[in-house]
Amino acid sequence: MAPVPLAEAVPLVEATGVSKRFGSTVALADARLTVLPGESHALVGRNGAGKSTLVNVLTGIFPPDTGEVWFDGEPAPKAGDRDGWRAKVACVYQKSTIIPELTVAENLFINRQPATRGVIGWKRMRREAAELLSTWDVQVDPSVAAGELNVQDRQFVEIARALSFGARFIILDEPTAQLDNAEIERLFTRMRSLQDSGVTFLFISHHLQEVYEVCQTVTVFRDARWIATEPVADLPRGALVEAMTGEAADLGRTTGHREPVTADVRLAVTGLSDGAYEDVSLDVRRGEVVGLAGSSASGKIELAEALVGLRRPGGGTATLDGRPVPFGDVRKAMSAGIGFVPRDRHGQGLVAGLSVGENATMTIADRLGPFGIISPRRLREAARTSIKGLDIKTQGPEQPVNGLSGGNQQKVVMARALAVEPRLLVLINPTAGVDVKSKEALLAVVDEIRQGGTSVIIISDELDDLRPCDRVLVFFHGRITAEHAAGWNDHDLVASIEGVSS
């Protein structure tokens, strides 16, 4: 749906002169946003640009220090007027706000159960929930526990809940981060049909191709400030990246043809099977970079997790430089020269209470002092080397890791993987939730270490992550069904990921 020209429409949302500080940090400085009714409007910016802070202001979570917010030409509800805010706007966050132990119906009607003379009518509640879900075409059983829903259904339920409060402005905060390609397409189809029924979206994503696919307008924030608002169709990708980074863009998108790597085989996998994948065989040579692509249920992640010691497959073998890969034992896998970036940096990657230095060197603690006693000086030295090498923006090795932005946290996870001086580096969704500049820095590591003979396996749902690969193997229903040599085009790769021949 094309946006109505600015001059003719009253903005559905307008924020002007918005400033917000946290101590000495300026999170927003004279920022602004204008969203027109019926559009899908992208909000993009590097980690720390101020997007989440603006969302908190737009949803009434906290007031700005200065500035105003208007909905449909009227001033925003007063601070603390929860019902007033809920009728205007809702945000679907990456982390669910749904209570997993309650049913879908209870989640939809929490704190507003249909009651007759104070008695909650459970039957009526289920019926009304079913009606609500069917109004918005959400095919979910209202009586199941919400915790059993997959990420996509959970998002659809949260959207339906927001609409049931009367809000017609929905903020989606990195909604595709945990979805596979087919699910992303379903989300976009749903967004388009809701747009047709008058819903307006603010769409926050670090995946710029999605902005081009589903949004009509884009606003760029940089360093707490509004930089630009443009129709998506008028803004080439290079100009968008430039607006986000303030530098001329180097998109690194060329996936040129490469000579096949002919060095010795370093990793040999033969007939590996698990519940999630079946009879998988593959080789990775010294200095070779191999990508594994496929939908989230394709088995690619489970295979990668077996190689790094997080799982024990049911059958088959894998050897690294001729020695068996120690399945089911992360510590032994590291000693064998296997470093990895796990799929979930919060759950599996970082220890929140520890410093940047402790996190970055955790994998080599035994090398930093005798008898497992870590020398603080050697820890600091090792950490400083990592901080410099990966250009981690931090106050220093002692800073708690939770104080860093997403992109910098991911660099700490990468530093930890590199500290073991791996012969095989396995990267699982290495750039999830990180901004475009940090992505470049993380992927540049791959090119650097392959020169030294390290083999790399990259598992990712993002095509950009797969561009450094010499070849990409596609998993479909637990088997390798296609191989694409460097020089592949996006369309062919996506077609084999989806299981359709192009």
Interaction site with ligand ATP (CB under 6 A):
22, 25, 27, 45, 47-53, 405-406
Structure tokens at 405: 């932005």
* 3 state SS of 108: helix
CB 309 to ligand ATP: min, Å: 30
Task: Please report, in angstroms and rounded to a whole number, the separation of the first and last CA atoms in the chain.
Answer: 29
Minimal distance, residue 486 CB to ligand ATP, in Å: 30
Rounded to whole angstroms, what are the CA distances from 424 to 106, 213, 267, 321? Answer: 48, 36, 8, 10
Q: 């737009």: which residue's tokens?
A: 58
Residue closer to ligand ATP, measured from CB, 52 or 295: 52
Nearer to ligand ATP, 49 or 104 (CB): 49
Report, in Å, the least distance between residue 439 CB and ligand ATP.
Answer: 12
Q: Which is nearer to ligand ATP, 55 or 390 (CB)?
A: 55
Phi then psi dihedrals of residue 445, to 5 deg: -55, -40
Q: HEC string of 381-442? A: HHHHHHHHHCCCCCCCCCCEHHHCCHHHHHHHHHHHHHHCCCCEEEEECCCCCCCHHHHHHH
Distance CA 261, CA 287 (A): 8
Q: Tell me the three state secondary structure of residue 257.
A: coil
In whole angstroms, the minimum distance from the beta carbon of 227 to ligand ATP comes to: 12
Q: Give the residue with the Cβ less far from ligand ATP, 142 or 433.
A: 433
Cβ 204 to ligand ATP shortest distance, Å: 8
Minimal distance, residue 434 CB to ligand ATP, in Å = 8
Smallest distance from ligand ATP to CB 201, Å:
17
From the CB of 176, what's the least distance to ligand ATP, in Å? 14
CB-nearer residue toward ligand ATP: 9 or 26:
26
Nearer to ligand ATP, 47 or 103 (CB): 47
> How many CA atoms lie within 13 Å of 480's alpha carbon, on the beta-carbon side?
19
The residue (of 56 and 335) whose beta carbon lies closer to ligand ATP is 56
Angstrom CA distances, 248 to 237, 465, 496, stand at 11, 21, 34
- Amino acid type, 448: E
- CA–CA separation, 430 vs 413, rounded Å? 9
Considering the complex, what minimum distance in angstroms separates the CB of residue 401 from ligand ATP?
13
Name which of 55 and 146 has its Cβ closer to ligand ATP: 55
Residues 172, 164 contacting (CB under 8 angstroms): no
Q: What is the C-alpha to C-alpha distance for residues 164 and 167, in angstroms, rounded to an integer?
A: 7
Instruction: Spell out a b/e string for 392-410, using b for 16 or more CB atoms within 10 Å of the CB, else e.
Output: bebeebebebeebbbbbbb
For residues 173 and 288, which CB has a smaller minimum distance to ligand ATP in the complex? 173
Is residue 105 a contact partner of residue 129, using CB atoms and an 8 Å limit? yes
